[in-house]
């Protein structure tokens, strides 16, 4: 939000900010000092490896991103789905809580992601009917993730 207000929209602009300037802008996100270092490291890695954002969006791999310090599965999948428009579902604690509520347990992130993602893929045509429109699979994953988050926030309020 603050980056938008300051019209900072490119990797190059982020890269030219001092750590203090960037930390101030992302302070509302919490853990801003750590996030500043990680974000600067990610931006530098993207520029060094891919030169620009468009090349990154086209060519970045999940494996490459997972090797960046501070990026875990959820962050990597968020980048790939929301920024790069890749067909990968983001799962998070809300997804885990929903699965547990429904009686499912998973050993790890990948099992949870595969569980939800495979059902979305197999029910794609039916989901389009429910939505009343067709969309790209990556967009369907975004919609599904948003619905899980909204449901969990409403249904599991105050529960740990």
pLDDT along the chain (160 residues), means of 10: 89 91 86 87 96 96 96 97 98 95 95 96 95 96 96 82
Per-domain boundaries in the chain: 2-83, 93-155
* CATH superfamily name and code, 2-83: Hypothetical protein; domain 2 (1.10.340.30)
pLDDT value, residue 30: 76
What is 40-69 written as a DSSP string? HHHHHHHHHHHSSHHHHHHH--HHHHHTST
| Residue found under tokens 């929209």 | 9
The whole-number pLDDT of residue 116 equals 95
Burial class (CB in 10 A: 0-12, 13-18, 19+), 98: buried
pLDDT of residue 158: 65
* Predicted local distance difference test score (pLDDT) of residue 27: 86
Structure tokens at 135: 């969309």
Q: Which of 102, 59, 104, 118 is nearest to 84 (CA)?
A: 59
């Amino acid at each position: 939000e603050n980056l938008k207000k300051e019209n900072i929209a490119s990797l190059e602009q982020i890269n030219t900010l001092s750590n203090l300037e960037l930390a101030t802008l992302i302070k509302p996100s919490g853990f801003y000092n750590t996030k500043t270092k990680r974000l600067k490291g990610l931006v530098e890695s993207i520029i060094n490896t891919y030169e620009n954002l468009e090349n990154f969006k086209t060519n970045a791999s999940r494996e490459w991103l997972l090797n960046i310090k501070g990026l875990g599965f959820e962050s990597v999948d968020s980048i790939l789905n929301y920024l790069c428009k890749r067909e990968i579902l983001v799962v998070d604690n809300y997804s885990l809580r929903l699965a547990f509520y429904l009686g499912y347990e998973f050993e790890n992130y990948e099992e949870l992601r595969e569980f939800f993602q495979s059902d979305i893929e197999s029910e794609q045509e039916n989901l389009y009917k429910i939505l009343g429109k067709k969309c790209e699979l990556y967009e369907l994953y975004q919609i599904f993730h948003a619905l899980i988050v909204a449901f969990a926030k409403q249904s599991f309020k105050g529960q740990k």
